[in-house]
A and B are shown apart, each in its own frame.
Chain A
Amino acid sequence: DAEITQSPRHKITETGRQVTLACHQTWNHNNMFWYRQDLGHGLRLIHYSYGVQDTNKGEVSDGYSVSRSNTEDLPLTLESAASSQTSVYFCASSPGIRRAEQFFGPGTRLTVL
Chain B
Amino acid sequence: GESVGLHLPTLSVQEGDNSIINCAYSNSASDYFIWYKQESGKGPQFIIDIRSNMDKRQGQRVTVLLNKTVKHLSLQIAATQPGDSAVYFCADQIGNQFYFGTGTSLTVIP
Contacts and interface: CB of A to CB of B under 8 A. Distances in A.
Contacts of B42: 106-107
A104 B44 CA distance: 6
B46 A43 contact: no
Interface string B36-48: 1000011111100
Query: Size band of the B side of the interface?
Result: 20 to 34
A101 B49 contact: yes
A41 B102 contact: yes
B43 A42 contact: no
A90 B97 CA distance: 15
A103 B46 CA distance: 7
A43 B42 CA distance: 14
B1 to A, nearest CB: 7
Given A42-B2, A42-B4, A102 B32 contact: no
Query: Size band of the A side of the interface?
Result: 20 to 34
B46 A59 contact: no
A105 B46 CA distance: 12
A21 B6 CA distance: 30
A42 B104 CA distance: 11
Q: Which of A31, A42, A90 has the most CB of B within 10 A?
A: A42
28 contacts: A33-B98, A35-B100, A42-B2, A42-B4, A42-B100, A42-B101, A42-B102, A43-B44, A43-B91, A43-B100, A50-B96, A90-B43, A98-B32, A98-B96, A99-B32, A99-B51, A99-B93, A101-B49, A102-B34, A102-B46, A102-B98, A103-B46, A104-B36, A104-B43, A104-B44, A104-B45, A105-B43, A106-B42
10 closest pairs, A vs B, by CB? A104-B43, A42-B100, A43-B100, A99-B32, A101-B46, A104-B44, A42-B102, A106-B43, A42-B101, A107-B43
